[in-house]
Amino acid sequence: MKVVTSREFNQDVSQAKRAARIEPVFITDRGRPTHVLMSVETYRRLSGQSETIVDLLAMPALPAVDLAPERWDR
């Protein structure tokens, strides 16, 4: 388990991101863990989420809506 202080995190975000590819990184503030940085793959596995952002944006649960405009005759 990787632990970094808030100060270390702010000084080298890239290093924390590289470490998070391997394992979650705990970020502390005044010695207490306040945040966890992890890869998206790890988050999805832990949360049981299997959809990608493309799947979520497709909104398959919504019913089809006919957006054909009404014709106006003058």
Out of 3.40.190.10, 3.40.640.10, 3.40.1620.10, 3.30.565.10, the CATH code matching 2-48 is 3.40.1620.10
SS3 63: coil
* HSE, side-chain direction, 13 A CA sphere, residue 70: 3
Mean predicted confidence (pLDDT) in 39-55: 82
**Domain ranges across the chain:** 2-48
Q: What is the pLDDT of residue 71?
A: 76
The dihedral sign for the CA sequence 53, 58, 62, 68: positive
pTM: 0.64
Mean pLDDT, the chain, whole residue set: 86
Tokens 């890239």 locate to 14
pLDDT digits (tens, 9 = 90+) for 8-42: 999 999 999 999 999 999 999 999 999 999 999 89
Q: What is the pLDDT of residue 61?
A: 66
Partners of residue 29 on adjacent β-strands = 32
Q: Which residues contact 4 (CB under 8 A, 6 or more apart)?
A: 16, 19, 25, 26, 27, 28
Mean predicted confidence (pLDDT) in 45-68: 72
